Structure 1
Amino acid sequence: MSVKMPSAAVVIAVMLQIGFHQCSAQLSSGATFKCQSKFGYFVDPADCGKYYICSFGNGVQQTCPDGLQFSLRLRNCDWTRNVKCIQHNGYTYREGEGYLTPGTTTDVSTTLDINLFPLSSTSQLKGNTEEPKLEISPAEPCTKSTCQPPSCRCGSTDTPNAMDPDDIPQMILLTFEGAVTDSAMNVYKNTLTRKNPNNCPIRATFFVSHEWTDYSHVQNLANQGNEIAVLGVSMKYSGNRSMNSWEDEVQGQRRILSKFANIPEREIRGMRAPYLSIGGDNQFQMLSNNEFVYDSSMPVFENEPPFFPFTLDYRINNVCMVDPCPSGSFQGIWEMPIVMWNDRSGDRCNTVDTCTDPKNQQEVYELLISNFERHYTNNRAPFNIFTSEAWLSKEINQRAFREFLDTVLDQTDQAQYRNVYFVTMSQAIQWMKTPTDYGDIKTFKPWQCTDTPKTQPCRKPNPCTPWFEKNKEIRPMKTCQKCPKNYPWVGNAYGH
């Protein structure tokens, strides 16, 4: 039986229409779609081939190409056989995507309002069976007198230790999210070839999802000095996930990464919420309980000057753009904010993929360099380039990104920019704890590349064919570790 990854899944380049007003979009059925949160991807409840991108409460309808249906799990369009969505009596029924499935005994035509989609699970129709809501005391306001470095920092645009921005090395946080596949690895190999001014290779942070990931590739990325962090196991959308559910999804993926990519669990320090669907106190209490160091799921609108990373010991100082934001105190947990970009059209976007799609290489380069300069010429807060393999695999994007690297990493006497470093999330946090000026940054130990890698390379991966109980199929995976009997999944991270 041969099974292969749905490689024909189409990645949709989308344009977010940004605005502060609450706006509605027309559904396929003629009714009105209302965004349930300010940001997110939502299915059209009446048409399997349509979906909505909500930004600042403004829903923009998108349509999949012919023959494809929208998969919320992938956040793009996929083959119909993978999504398994049917339309009946003006409603869509989706199998395995957290929606009502065919054969449900609930009469949706009489009990569901069209604006309730998407549901996090059919249990919402049958009554909530999860543990009681977490009770956490509200956090106090953050002040410099109560929140002292290095372990605590209020959210702000202020430079650490009141440093002159000209003395601050400009950090670039390059992150990728999603499955690490053969095609993705080829893109990463062609991208991470440059060196920082201290002669160490540029580094990136990978927020890894589980399905279709080749864990031998993940192991090699870690061996090369990149940081591996968590995106999720099932990538199932949930707007109201419990703390236990967050633990199954995030801590479960951490265990999978540790087991099958041979990365010490303590080295997997951070997470990003799937679809940037932040989980409030439940999410952050889970991070605290499991000794995570940081989250990177919170968009921050204030970008001129941009925000620096901050801790969640006290109340956040930025506008909460995606509910629910944490309201409690979570000592020592860092937030690596998604500082919003300025789109070429004048709007805001939170990841490179969601900016208005440039038409050519020059426009892509201008998008990159203009947003970089907003950090470099301001307070030099870390500049975030949060993207995906799909965006970088597009030829004009790849050429423009290489041009961008040539510009910001130029070490000649004619260089326009100085002391620019591509670092991981954890390296940025280490700098925030011990701010070091550019004169000493070349010897700043956390940014060195002389230590023996904590993860060994994977040279001869084992091709595994475990049984995937959820889909009732053989699901291939690769690892340098012993093959599991069952495909690892939520509640069975080790594949026993």
Structure 2
Amino acid sequence: MKVFVYLAVLVGLVYGQCDPAANCSPPDCRCFNDNTTPGGLKPDEIPQMVVMTMDYSLNSEFAELYDQLFTVTNPNDCPTLGTFYLQDMNTDYDVVKAYYDRGFEIGVSSVDGTIPKDETGWVDMIRSVKTKITGAGINGDDVRGYRPPQLNFGGTEEFIGIGDNGLVYDAGCVTSEYDTANTFKWPYTYDFPDGAKCNGQSAPVDKEFKGKWELIIPDFRFSNDTKCEVPQGCTNVETKTDAFNILYDNFIAHYEGSRTPYVVIIDAAWMKTDFKREGTVEFMDYVRAGFPDTWVITAWQSLQWVQNPTPTANISSFAPWSC
């Protein structure tokens, strides 16, 4: 930690400090140290965003499971949506294209789950998977997001790969530091080399990446203050009620806090377990029925809101969330 702080101070002297009032303003920039809500809105004016994200392979077998989650609609009667971060291995790109055509976001993860060893590896891996995605008839400009394999945040080398391949944001920085209602962070950019220390990894503190966003992910908390990076990692989730509760309790922490985007990370292993899938379906139905100011959207749609904050009173006419 001392080394990380030293580097942060050193690069601050080289690049200058990020200042929301002077050199970093929306829609293309937001400081890591900006603890205000976007647009200065009060929490009860902010629509609660639930960002459902699915990792690893996507094929017809898994599609039958994921489809069970997205049967309800958002407050504007548009479909609920989510984001897939794809692993090339075992993925059927005809299925990927079908989800894209329905409005789901398609992002990049890895070729086979292996973590790159160097900068060239990150660049080549992201390019390889993005090429497969665009080869399926998906507009390359719509492929914006990245999540590293095994949630192993790659820092500077990863962001070089993101930049070289025309992506816009990372959604793989899990943090145990900013994981309570009082410390949740809004998405921020790396226009200045500053940011959270992701679990086990440092932020890209030695280089600036203008306009590149971080959709930071707090640890999930469960009973007896158990913490895990993803719901599947909490081994004490043993029933349908447990599966519902871990998702709902962390949702409420966001909802009753500053309304930062609530990012849920699941995969086929979670969905193939009957009670976990059933608890997740119940959670999706419950938050949409019981919380009229809650929207289930893609990661990119959540970043579009951060770039152009719109109060709940006007959100039904917010173009990026329309259908």
Q: Which amino acid aligns with 2:236?
A: D
SS for the counterpart of 1:199 is: coil
Per-residue deviation at 1:350? 1.6
In the TM superposition, 1:197-346 aligns within 5 A as 197-238=75-116, 241-259=117-135, 261-301=136-176, 302-304=178-180, 305=182, 306-327=184-205, 328-346=207-225
Offset, 1:139: 4.8
What residue in structure 1 maps to residue 29 of structure 2? 152
CA–CA separation in structure 2 for the residues paired with 1:287 and 1:193: 33
Bigger drift between 365-374 and 398-407 goes to 398-407
Which secondary structure state, in structure 2, belongs to the residue aligned with residue 262 of structure 1? coil
- Written as runs of structure 1 = structure 2, the 5 A alignment for 1:402-417 is 402-410=281-289, 415=290, 417=291
Which of 209, 216, 228 is 1:349 aligned to? Answer: 228
2:242 counterpart residue number: 363
Give unmatched runs, 5+ long, in structure 2: 2-10
Q: 1:385-443 CA distances to partner (integer Å, 9 max, x unpaired)?
A: 11102102211112211221222101xxxx3x231101111111111111000011111
Quote how far apart the aligned CAs of 1:235 are.
2.5
Distance (Å, rounded) in 2 between the aligned partners of 1:342 and 1:292: 30
2:319 is the alignment partner of 1:440: no
1:45-85 CA-to-partner distances (Å, cap 9, x unmatched) read xxxxxxxxxxxxxxxxxxxxxxxxxxxxxxxxxxxxxxxxx
SS of 2:90's partner is coil
Q: Give the whole-Å Cα distance in 2 for the aligned partners of 1:157 and 1:388.
A: 31
Letter in 2 for 1:282: E
CA distance 1:381–1:313, shift in 2 (3 Å): same
> Over alpha carbons, which structure has the higher Rg?
1
Say if 2:68 and 2:281, in contact at 8 Å, map to a contact too: no
Shift of 1:266: 1.2
The letter for the 2-side match of 1:280 is G
Distance 1:188 1:152 in 2: 33
| Corresponding residue number in structure 2 for 1:376 | 255
Aligned position for 2:18: 142
> How many angstroms apart in 2 are the aligned matches of 1:289 and 1:402?
38
CA distance in 2, matches of 1:178, 1:405: 21
Any idea what the Cα deviations from partners look like across 1:221-261, whole Å, max 9, x if unmatched?
101100000011232234xx3222111101111011110x2
Tell me if structure 2 keeps the 8 A contact 1:234–1:249.
Answer: no
SS of residue matched to 1:409: helix
Residue 299 of structure 2 corresponds to which residue in structure 1?
425
1:323-343 CA distances to partner (integer Å, 9 max, x unpaired)?
242112100000111122112
Distance in 2 between residues matched to 1:230 and 1:153, nearest whole Å: 23
The share of aligned pairs that are identical, in percent, is 28
Question: Distance in 2 between the 1:436 and 1:443 partners?
Answer: 9
Q: 1:171-218 deviations in whole A, cap 9, x for unaligned?
A: 011000111122211101222211111101100100011111111100
Q: Secondary structure of the residue that 1:430 maps to in structure 2?
A: helix
Q: TM-score, normalised by structure 2?
A: 0.90
Once residues 366 and 157 of structure 1 are traced to their aligned partners in structure 2, the CA distance between those partners, rounded to angstroms, is: 28
Question: CA 1:139 to 1:341, structure 2 compared with 1: closer, same or farther past 3 Å?
Answer: farther
Q: CA offset at residue 274 of structure 1?
A: 0.8
Counterparts of 1:382 and 1:428, CA distance in 2: 7
Q: AA paired with 1:237? A: I
> Among 10, 25, 45, which residue is 1:167 paired with?
45
TM-score where L is the length of structure 1: 0.59
1:147-175 CA-to-partner distances (Å, cap 9, x unmatched) read: 11111101254311221000000001100
Distance (Å, rounded) in 1 between the aligned partners of 2:248 and 2:239 = 15
- Separation of aligned partners in 2, 1:235 and 1:272: 11
Answer yes or no: is the 8 Å Cα contact 1:150–1:434 preserved in 2. Answer: yes
CA contact (8 A) 1:149 1:433 kept: yes
Structure 2: distance between partners of 1:214 and 1:363: 32
| Per-residue CA distance 1:290-342 (angstroms, 9 max, x = gap) | 22111111112212231111111113343342324211210000011112211
The one-letter amino acid paired with 1:232 is S
Match of 2:8?
Answer: none
Structure 2 CA distance for partners of 1:368 and 1:320, relative to 1, 3 Å = closer
- Counterpart of 1:321, as a letter, is N
1:140 & 1:286 partners in 2: Cα distance? Answer: 24
The CA RMSD measured in Å over matched residues stands at 1.8
Between the two structures, name the one with larger relative contact order (CA 8 Å, sep ≥ 6): 2
Q: CA, structure 1 residues 287+356, in 2 after alignment: closer, same or farther (shift >3 Å)?
A: same
Distance 1:248 1:435, change over 3 A: same
* Dislocated runs of 4+, deviation >4 Å: 136-139
